Amino acid sequence: MSDSGKNILVVGGGVIGLSIAYSLSKSGHHVRVMERDPSLTDSCSSGNAGMIVPSHFIPLAAPGVISQGLKWMLNPKSPFFLRPRLDPALARWIWLFMRHSNQQHVQNSAELLRDLSLLSRRLHLELAEQENFPLVDKGLLMLCQSQKGLDEEAEVAESAHRLGLEAEVINLTRLYELEPNAKINAKGGVWFPQDCHLDPSDFIQALRRGIKKAGGEFIDAEAENLDDSTIVTKTGEKHTADTIVLAGGIATLNLARDLGLKLPMQGGKGYSLTLPKPLRNPELCSLLKEGRVAVTPMGDQLRVAGTMEICGKDTSISKPRLQGIIESFCSFYPEFRPADFDNLTPWVGLRPCSPDGLPYLGKAPGHEKIIIATGHAMMGLSLAPVTGHLVTQLVNNKSTSLDLSALDPARFG
């Protein structure tokens, strides 16, 4: 069979699976996307903060994260929690996370994350133009209320410059030049002009339209097990393919097990709340340093998101942590009141988190025809187009635009 026109089955219709299917369809392959929940209610993709973030070149596993995390564990409203439980997979994940939380790992990963993000940003812009949906290319504000926060972020800006990325440390005057639309209670911050934002629903709809236009198909079914060329669904149907791509987010764990692969991955639970008609809407998206909260204007709506709870597959909602997000947002944006959030239904999503903060992207060990694409943690939306691009190069047996060895799904054995 030639490299184009292959028959490909993608398991998972979240932002990663859809971006892969979109890129493969455009490359001339016949693609089917298998999704067990077409409403994406249980996915991590629909309610996220919609940020495209070249500024995120520091992986989740970094120095200081563990000590900060331990302090936060004591506060029920804090943005981080790890639910202790007797689970060998969790113990292994924590051990690997601790091993990678060092400066050397940050240095080793920064250039790769930069290159992945910049290519993905370019592909996001092209896609928004081709598929005609709104993407705001005005940057991201990292807002700080404390001097300590400001000093830390100024250091990040320095590192960004060393990597050739744009970052500007800003005082309040500059802040209001950039963001004339909202009152902000902060000492200052950093503006990352290359970051962008969008509404993930627009992105998802555009990808689906593009896949259908290119002749792709959608199968509403749950993949239960697989071998090298066949997926068997929960209802017993068999679907064969030349290549199978596993992009099921946190649930990829279950299918990877069929391949004898123990992917270390934990669900990183986060919440978002969307104000349907805020009185005022900021122009730029922002991250609130001290509360680790993400704020994103989406058309007339405003989304506020946060928390990282390492919690297995538990999707229950912690009211104190939700309250922590709201209080933090209102303290930075004083025109808003906690009561504005009364009666809103919170959204919850499980980020697929690897222990080194890097995605899993590559062929499954010993299974040439199976590709794994998951583990994007906090950057799945941002890195979705580049993931699609790289998977397409793998399927087409082309050399990849970037060296993928650090993303090898078998890197932890």
Ligand X SMILES: Cc1cc2nc3c(=O)[nH]c(=O)nc-3n(C[C@H](O)[C@H](O)[C@H](O)COP(=O)(O)OP(=O)(O)OC[C@H]3O[C@@H](n4cnc5c(N)ncnc54)[C@H](O)[C@@H]3O)c2cc1C
Does residue 43 belong to the site contacting ligand X (CB under 6 A)? yes
| Residue among 23, 194, 272, 328 that touches ligand X (CB under 6 A) | 272
Q: How far is CA 21 from CA 16, 184, 209, 295, in A?
A: 9, 41, 11, 29
What is the gyration radius of the CA atoms in the chain, in angstroms?
A: 21
Q: Which stretch binds ligand X (CB under 6 A): 95-103, 210-218, 243-251, 396-404?
A: 243-251
**Closest CB 69 distance from ligand X, rounded Å:** 17
Segment interacting with ligand X, rule: CB under 6 A, options 80-88, 116-124, 154-162, 267-275: 267-275
Is 354 among the residues that bind ligand X (CB under 6 A)?
A: no
The C-alpha atoms of residue 230 and residue 227 are separated, in whole angstroms, by 5
Q: Does 94 bind ligand X (CB under 6 A)?
A: no
Which residue of 6, 351, 367, 389 would you call a contact of ligand X, by CB under 6 A? 351
Among 6, 8, 10, 12, binds ligand X (CB under 6 A): 12
Q: Which helix (H) or strand (E) holds 308?
A: strand 301-310
Is 25 a binding residue for ligand X by CB under 6 A? The answer is no
Tell me the C-alpha distance between 201 and 219, whole Å.
20
State which residue, 189 or 385, has the beta carbon closest to ligand X.
385
Is residue 137 a contact point for ligand X (CB under 6 A)?
no
Q: Which tokens hold the place of 147?
A: 């001097």
For residue 368, give Cα distances in angstroms to 252, 295, 397. Answer: 17, 41, 11
Report if residue 31 touches ligand X, rule: CB under 6 A: no
379, 391, 395, 407: which one contacts ligand X (CB under 6 A)? 379
Q: Which amino acid is at 314?
A: D
Q: Distance (Å, rounded) from C-alpha 184 to C-alpha 180?
A: 10
Instruction: Report residue 73 CA to chain centroid gap.
Output: 23
Q: Which stretch binds ligand X (CB under 6 A): 22-30, 134-142, 310-318, 370-378?
A: 370-378
Binding status of residue 249 toward ligand X by CB under 6 A: yes
Q: If binding is defined by CB under 6 A, does position 251 make contact with ligand X? A: yes
Question: How far is residue 399's CA from residue 212's CA, in Å, rounded to a whole number?
Answer: 28
| SS3 assignment for 337-356 | CHHHHCCCCCEEEEEEECCC
Which tokens hold the place of 205?
Answer: 């709809």
Q: Tally Cβ neighbours within 10 Å of residue 238.
A: 8
**Is residue 22 within a helix (H) or strand (E), and if so which, with residue range?**
helix 15-26
Looking at 23, 25, 27, 48, which residue binds ligand X (CB under 6 A)? 48
Distance CA 7, CA 193 (A): 40
As beta bridge partners, residue 244 has: 9, 370
Q: DSSP code of 152? A: H
Span interacting with ligand X, options 86-94, 148-156, 332-340, 378-386, rule CB under 6 A:
378-386
Nearest distance in Å: CB 338, ligand X: 19
- 50 near ligand X, rule: CB under 6 A: yes
Q: Which is nearer to ligand X, 106 or 305 (CB)?
A: 305
Q: Judged by CB under 6 A, does residue 270 bind ligand X? A: yes
**Residue whose CB is less far from ligand X, 160 or 247:** 247
SS3 content of the chain, % helix, strand, coil (to 5): 35, 25, 40
Considering only residues 202 through 231, tell me which ones interact with ligand X, judged by CB under 6 A.
222-223
Residue 391 corresponds to which tokens in the numbers above?
A: 């998977």
Burial of 334 (0-12, 13-18, 19+ CB in 10 A): exposed
3-class DSSP state of 176: helix
Residue from 127, 326, 381, 391 in contact with ligand X (CB under 6 A): 381
For ligand X, the binding residue among 287, 382, 391, 392 (CB under 6 A) is: 382
User: Minimum distance from CB of 246 to ligand X (Å)?
Assistant: 8
Q: How far is the CB of 176 from ligand X (least distance, A)?
A: 24
15 is a site residue for ligand X (CB under 6 A): yes
> Site mask, ligand X, residues 305-344, x = CB under 6 A?
x---------------------------------------
Binding site for ligand X (CB under 6 A): 11-17, 34-37, 40, 42-45, 48-51, 222-223, 247-249, 251, 255, 270-272, 294, 305, 349, 351-352, 374, 376-382
